[in-house]
């Protein structure tokens, strides 16, 4: 049984969820990459080899359990009623809920799970059966669209001090990623008894303010940082702040204002924490962020909700972090060289994955950042990255830690 609560970003890893890229990657073409939020068309077989190397490195270096999303999904969709419900919901956008009863019997549970990830086209269904309801669509049209971004497991949810933030994704095409994670957390025997949904809650109006897991960083057991970015709204940050302060020991939530730029997409592309007093950062972004709002817990009202006060801090995020983290040590991407930093930031040099205090996994292509980390006494385990990096996400982006040693 997993607690689904974390109080640090760097405690020794015990369990993590990943997704091995699959057929959804082969749905990418030079003409739909922008629509599907990709920069390039990766080579799947090499991508899978690199991902296998990455997950083996996690397990072999820590002994942590590495759960694959597809396998967890199969475990819960063995329940026929749940499978029908999930499939029906994912056909609703085409007004084809009723087709679920025709599709499901023709595929195994594993194949149904794959369809929910990789999508399915009209022509693929027509090979299985004929239906007048499909006549309105052309062969190449998707009845369920693919989710090629799903190998970036950090985005659909975030495990924090009091439970799980279930992401409300900025782009509707990615919302299924978060929905599948929520279904697993709610129904899988490993998680359901300890699953506490921090966000969203029933008090939020529609549309629900967006938030993505890459913007969420646990600073300590008492503090949380969330990027206000092109993907995460201030209203969502305030709702999370109120929830975590009401439910647990969290006393401060920092709303960090990020520039609306592609390479600053989430807060974890700007900095990551790799020990209690050590971070790796992209210096240009860190120095450019000159506004942060801190929400503080002042008490609890009669309804058991946190009483919050907000304070604007017009300082660099580095200055803010130095107030939160004693004796902060900062390592810059590219080893401080502006040209190297620009190159390595594009391939997520600051987005390393901490598997323990001062132990990280980093893309092998970020050689100058890795050198700077080693010179600071950090153990750097390098993983191949020629194809994985094409989606513009790093090792932290590809992982969803669900259990760490308490720190």
State the catalytic residues: 397
Between CA 238 and CA 191, with CA 234 as vertex, the angle to 5 degrees is 60
Strands, E assignment, 291-387: 292-300, 306-313, 329-332, 353-356, 359-363, 379-383
Q: Write the DSSP symbol of residue 163.
A: S
Nearest CA to 278 out of 224, 314, 332, 215 is that of 332
Structure tokens at 150: 């799903």
Edge to edge, what strands does the sheet with 216-220 contain? 216-220, 223-228, 252-257, 292-300, 306-313
Distance CA 380, CA 396 (A): 14
Q: Measuring CA to CA, how many Å separate 127 from each of 1, 107, 131, 134? A: 42, 12, 11, 12
Beta bridge partners of 293: 255, 312
Residue 56 phi, psi (nearest 5): -65, -40
Nearest CA to 398 out of 152, 155, 179 is that of 152
Q: Is 191:246 a contact under the CB 8 Å cutoff?
A: no
Q: Write the DSSP symbol of residue 169.
A: -
């Amino acid at each position: 049984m997993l607690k689904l609560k974390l109080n640090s970003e760097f405690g020794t890893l015990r369990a993590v969820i990943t997704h091995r890229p699959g057929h959804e990657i082969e749905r990418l073409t030079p003409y739909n990459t922008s629509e599907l939020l990709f920069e390039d068309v990766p080579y799947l077989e090499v991508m899978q080899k690199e991902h296998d190397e990455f997950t083996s490195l996690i397990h072999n270096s820590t002994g942590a359990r590495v759960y694959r999303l597809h396998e967890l999904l199969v475990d819960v969709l063995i329940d026929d009623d749940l499978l029908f419900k999930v499939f029906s919901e994912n056909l609703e956008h085409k007004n084809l809920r009723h087709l679920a009863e025709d599709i499901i019997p023709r595929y195994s549970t594993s194949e149904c799970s794959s369809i929910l990830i990789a999508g399915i086209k009209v022509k693929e269904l027509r090979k299985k059966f004929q239906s007048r309801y499909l006549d309105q669509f052309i062969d190449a049209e998707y009845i369920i669209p693919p989710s090629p971004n799903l190998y970036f497991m950090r985005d659909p949810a975030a495990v924090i001090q009091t439970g799980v933030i279930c992401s409300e994704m900025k782009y509707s095409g990615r919302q299924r990623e978060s929905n599948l994670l929520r279904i697993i957390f709610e129904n899988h025997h490993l998680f359901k008894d300890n699953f506490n949904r921090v966000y969203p809650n029933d008090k939020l109006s529609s549309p629900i303010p967006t938030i993505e897991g890459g913007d969420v960083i646990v600073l300590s057991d008492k503090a949380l940082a969330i990027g206000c970015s092109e993907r995460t709204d201030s209203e969502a940050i305030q709702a999370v702040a109120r929830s975590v302060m009401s439910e647990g020991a969290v006393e401060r939530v920092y709303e960090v204002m990020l520039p609306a730029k592609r390479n600053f997409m989430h807060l974890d592309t700007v900095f990551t924490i790799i020990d209690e007093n050590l971070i790796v950062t992209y210096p240009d972004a860190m120095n450019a962020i000159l506004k942060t709002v801190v929400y503080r817990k002042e008490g609890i009202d009669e309804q058991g909700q946190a009483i919050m006060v907000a304070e604007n801090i017009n300082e660099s995020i580095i200055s803010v972090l130095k107030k939160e983290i004693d004796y902060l040590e900062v390592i810059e991407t590219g080893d401080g060289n502006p040209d190297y930093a620009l190159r390595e930031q594009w391939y997520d040099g600051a987005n390393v994955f901490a598997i323990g205090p001062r132990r990280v996994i980093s893309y092998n292509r970020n050689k100058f950042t890795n050198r700077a980390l080693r010179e600071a006494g950090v153990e750097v385990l390098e993983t191949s990255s020629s194809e994985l990096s094409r989606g513009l996400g790093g090792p932290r982006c590809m992982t969803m830690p669900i259990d760490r040693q308490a720190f």
